[in-house]
Amino acid sequence: MIFIGMELPVNFEQFKKSPITAIAFLMLLVVGYLFYELRNSHSQQVESQNARIKVLEEKVEDYEEKLEEVNQKLIECFLINQSR
């Protein structure tokens, strides 16, 4: 790879002198980048799921209201049948 106008964090001379240290340093950079990406994507997923949860909670509230109406009508029917 050729990086124009940008120096690599480890040059060839350092790599040649201590390859394990150079690779460890590069791996540290990679792990840091992956951690950042994981945290960023996790935040996006949380926001998406919060929006979905809000919609589902609204649906549950609607269903609870409808269930309450049906329960009231059922109670009225039982009361009417008992009075006969």
Domain assignment present for 5: no
Q: Are 25 and 10 in contact (CB under 8 A)?
A: yes
The answer to whether residue 3 sits within a structural domain is: no
In terms of residue numbers, what domain contains 30?
A: 12-83
Is residue 67 included in any domain, yes or no? yes
Q: What single string gives the DSSP state of each residue in the chain? A: ---TT---SS-HHHHHH-HHHHHHHHHHHHHHHHHHHHHHHHHHHHHHHHHHHHHHHHHHHHHHHHHHHHHHHHHHHHHHHHH-
- Position 4 in a domain: no
How many structural domains does the chain have?
1
Q: Is residue 60 part of a domain?
A: yes
Residue 24 lies in a domain: yes
17 assigned to some structural domain: yes
pLDDT in tens, the chain (84 residues): 444 555 666 677 877 888 888 788 889 989 999 998 888 888 888 889 999 999 999 999 999 999 999 999 999 998 888 876
pLDDT at residue 24 in the model: 86
First to last CA, the chain: 91
